[in-house]
């Protein structure tokens, strides 16, 4: 299994903090967001390589981070060649770029590089192998406004996804979908097909409704917190939470 960490965004809403620093390398309670994720990835035995896909502006930042890190997984930094927010490939575009550049032919975990979360990725991987299908994650979200800003799914009693809607005006459920995905190696060619059909290359969640038309996809329901860092205010709130842990 390979793991792609999506880190090619420019995080313009966090300026000036992210003008010259990629969001995944911002520190929370003395440790980078990326390091929190890597500690969870380390505990997924099946992952043999972590691929950080970033842009030309920040590639050197991640290369420097890599040289000072001591993780057991192989780490590869992939530069997608973009320089600005207006020319970015989008998350799905970046996934396809990595698949092409590195000839990825393994099962694939994809996570956003700005995620802070409590649950174990090893539990997610265990669920994936039990279901033997592509899988995403979900949790119960009580904040209606947050549901309107996220992907929302409906699931059956077997946790199979029945519907997926990105940023719904009227959410059909309280099952919110953060950016953690596990795809079977047989699914990887579908990314190129999705893009060739002219679909949205940006938010990684857009690929899921396309996929559920073709095959079964299941949702791993996790407990615990997941923190979204999208604004300066949310970054300050997360700092406060982690400093008090």
pLDDT in tens, 116-139: 998 999 999 999 999 999 999 999
- What does the mean pLDDT of the chain come to? 93
Phi-psi group of 167: left, alpha or beta (phi > 0 → left; psi -120 to 50 → alpha; rest → beta): left
- The band of 3, judged by pLDDT with boundaries at 50, 70 and 90, is very high
Which residues are registered as beta bridge partners of 218? 135, 160
Instruction: Convert the pLDDT of each residue in 172-210 to its tens digit.
Output: 999 999 999 999 999 999 999 999 999 999 888 889 999
Predicted confidence at residue 227, as pLDDT, reads 85
pLDDT of 245 above 80: no
Separation of alpha carbons 126 and 47, rounded Å:
12
Q: What single-letter DSSP state applies at residue 160?
A: B
| CATH code for the domain defined by 2-243 | 3.90.550.10
pTM given for the model: 0.94
The more confidently predicted of residues 62 and 241 is 62
Q: What percentage of residues in the chain have a pLDDT greater than 90? A: 70
Q: Where are the domains of the chain?
A: 2-243
Q: What percent of the chain has pLDDT over 70?
A: 100
Nearest alpha-carbon partner for 34 in 78, 56, 2, 66? 66
């Amino acid at each position: 299994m390979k793991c792609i960490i999506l880190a090619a965004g420019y995080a313009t809403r966090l300026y000036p903090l992210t003008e010259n620093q990629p969001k995944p390398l911002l520190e929370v309670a003395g440790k980078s967001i990326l390091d929190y994720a890597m500690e969870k990835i380390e505990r997924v035995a099946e992952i043999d390589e972590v691929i950080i896909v970033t842009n030309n502006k920040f590639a050197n930042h991640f290369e420097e981070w890599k040289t000072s890190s001591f993780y057991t997984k192989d780490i590869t930094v992939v530069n997608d060649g973009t320089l600005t927010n207006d020319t970015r490939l989008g998350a799905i575009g970046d996934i396809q770029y990595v698949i092409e550049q590195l000839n990825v032919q393994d099962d694939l975990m994809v996570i956003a590089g700005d995620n802070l979360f409590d649950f174990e990725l090893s539990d997610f991987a265990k669920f994936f192998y039990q279901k033997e299908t592509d899988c995403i994650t979900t949790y119960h979200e009580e904040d209606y406004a947050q549901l309107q800003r996220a992907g929302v799914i409906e699931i059956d009693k077997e946790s199979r996804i029945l519907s997926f809607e990105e940023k719904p005006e009227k959410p059909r459920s309280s099952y919110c979908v953060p950016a953690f995905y596990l795809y079977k190696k047989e699914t990887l060619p579908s990314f190129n097909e999705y893009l060739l059909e002219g679909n949205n290359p940006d938010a990684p969640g857009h690929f899921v409704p396309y996929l559920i038309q073709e095959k079964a996809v299941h949702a791993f329901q996790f407990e615990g917190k997941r923190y979204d860092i999208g604004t300066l205010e949310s970054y300050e709130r997360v700092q406060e939470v982690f400093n008090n842990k």
